Structure 1
């Protein structure tokens, strides 16, 4: 039987003449094609919508095509993990999809100059009422790169402790009011993801990333302030 593992970008990823590419080569790279013009359609409290006219290569010629883009400030998420191998999840109403979703604490990167992990720590405190002693970067993603520039960094927080009631100086309102907090065994959370019972992308990515990190003894985690590629 022939080895077909290198086909279709599989584990035997090859480049050019078929030589196996090292893991260091499997990385997204910056690229910017010329924009001939743009039209702004909408500017809301959080997002903007515009259409760019992008000049794209097409063999020996080029053509200009329109691409609609949602401009987003970016987000962070936090997977809290306790010493019993349980992950912290909250349940929040999400109006666009008409569902109550199990999610990690998360929020917008809407404070200028604030390091993402500090934004994550603030969201962990405000949404779940916990603080963490140890922080690592789990995963970096573009949530839907075909339509938005939203960038998300999901962190792993360990050494969690509940914030005393007398130290809480914020009020949860709107979707955040009355959100339940649950500690879920990691294996059960992974099973829920695989059964299609959890849909929030930060939850899915974060839970599976923690599961993968556990398999290597958490040896390969990045620092909370690791550069964003």
Structure 2
């Protein structure tokens, strides 16, 4: 078993360091790492809003973030031998948070957008297995870090099927972020104009936000493309 490392500069956005990742799903995005089954991969990651919600973020920022850059994902990683129809088993060995975190309510975004229409942010200090916030005095949250967005690319047929399905949902008034080249990484127009946004989870996982997906858990995702 080999151990691989994918490192980023946390002070730079994905657009400033595009060779480290992607923020769209598309089968033609080239992998940045090739591994064998059973290999271990250490990945550094950016936050979901790609640095927009840092310690100095204001309510103005929270009220009108750039959603085109969500989510900056590290990868892709190519697993040798994985074929369409296979089930890829991923074991989460460890999730190590940084020292800063945040909770935000972006107006018009998320499942509770009709209940919480105003922008709001809580900044968290993470240390010693706890999260503390000056905005919530007397409260501390025990650490339980987990994977938010993790998945595989759809194949070309699934890409077309999903695009049509989400376009139909948008035409019925559903909340959908359609394909857009604005802010896309990679920037290649052949990919950026057709690639799926990362906001919803789909058949190949993605933005799953499962709190149980922490250290020691296993995730099984169907393989749809080589």
Question: Is the TM value for this pair above 0.5?
Answer: no
What TM-score results when the alignment is normalised by the length of structure 1?
0.22
- Structure having the higher Rg: 1
Hey, which of these two has a bigger chunk of strand by percent? Answer: 1
